[in-house]
Amino acid sequence: MINLKVFFRGLRSLKGARSPAIPLATCFIALGALLKDAGFNLQQSAASSFFTYALPGQLVMAESLLVGASLLNIFIAVWLVNFRLYPMTVSLFPLLKHKSQPKWKYYLSCHFLAVTSWLIAKDSYKKIDQRYRIDFWMGIGFGTWTTAVLMTLCGYLLSDYLNKDMMIGLAIVNPVYFFCMMIGAMKNISIAVAVIGGTILGPAVYLFSTEWAILFAGLVAGTVAFLFGVKNDY
């Protein structure tokens, strides 16, 4: 069974000035409007966030549908964009594991993984008893997932009042929030190298290749940061 006291503690962690709920909501409002433009109906738009819950992948899917891409191309593009969830899962779930907890909790709560919920969990897990960390995570994840689904519906219904510039503005709030949170998390050399290196390399590479700038900057800065972390461990 889920420890409801710890579950609701996780849910309450979404309150306050550092809450990811507001930036997450703005992005999914933009997504809901974009899905309507792509030809989705209300139920399909809600199902997209209910079952997929991966904003970058959903945005790629909607944009690809708008330009008439094939289903195979859409599948490959969405898979590549969402590949980030694999290392995020590997880095988070060992911290939540306890032998007394049933496996279904881990399988079910993988669906709640997102940048915002991952960041809150990584920042807070040490404050929670090891045995109940998965319940805390489920509270965080359920709160952000529910926000995403509801705001997708709101965006769909408000789409007639949102122009393209407004949707773009709403969509970038969450990445900006994540970047600010990462700056606040620069407590060790690895994170500092990743954030500073990516910030410098991204715009620099963009001058030469707009298509590969983000991927190249993230790959190089992340690899160097990892190597710094390994070196410090030894």
Q: Which of 12-26, 63-77, 81-95, 197-211 has the lowest mean pLDDT?
A: 12-26
For residues 205 and 169, state if they share a domain: no
For residues 228 and 195, state if they share a domain: yes
Residue 31 lies in a domain: yes
| Per-residue pLDDT at 42 exceeds 80 | yes
* pTM of the model as a whole: 0.81
- Report the number of distinct structural domains present in the chain: 2
CA distances to 22, 63, 151, 161 from 25, rounded to whole Å, are 5, 20, 6, 17
Give the model's pLDDT for residue 135: 95
**Average pLDDT for the chain:** 86
Domain that holds residue 202: 186-234
| Per-residue pLDDT at 234 exceeds 50 | no
- Give exposure, 168-204, as e/b (b: 16+ Cβ within 10 Å): eebbebbeebbeebbeeeeeeebbbbbbebbeebbee
Which two structure tokens, joined as six digits, stand for 175?
């990445």
Average pLDDT estimate for 168-188? 73
Q: In which band, very low, low, confident or very high, does the pLDDT at 232 lie, cut at 50, 70 and 90?
A: low
CA distances to 172, 193, 224 from 231, rounded to whole Å, are 35, 13, 11
Q: Give φ, ψ of 128 to 5 degrees.
A: -110, 140
Helix axes 189-206, 213-233, angle to 10 degrees: 160
Give the model's pLDDT for residue 186: 67
Q: Which of 11-20, 78-87, 154-163 has the lowest mean pLDDT?
A: 11-20
Contact predicate 177/23, CB 8 Å: yes
The tally of CA atoms less than 13 A away on the side-chain side of residue 207 is: 4
For residues 122 and 157, state if they share a domain: yes
| Per-residue pLDDT at 233 exceeds 60 | no
Output 12 or 170, whichever has higher pLDDT: 12
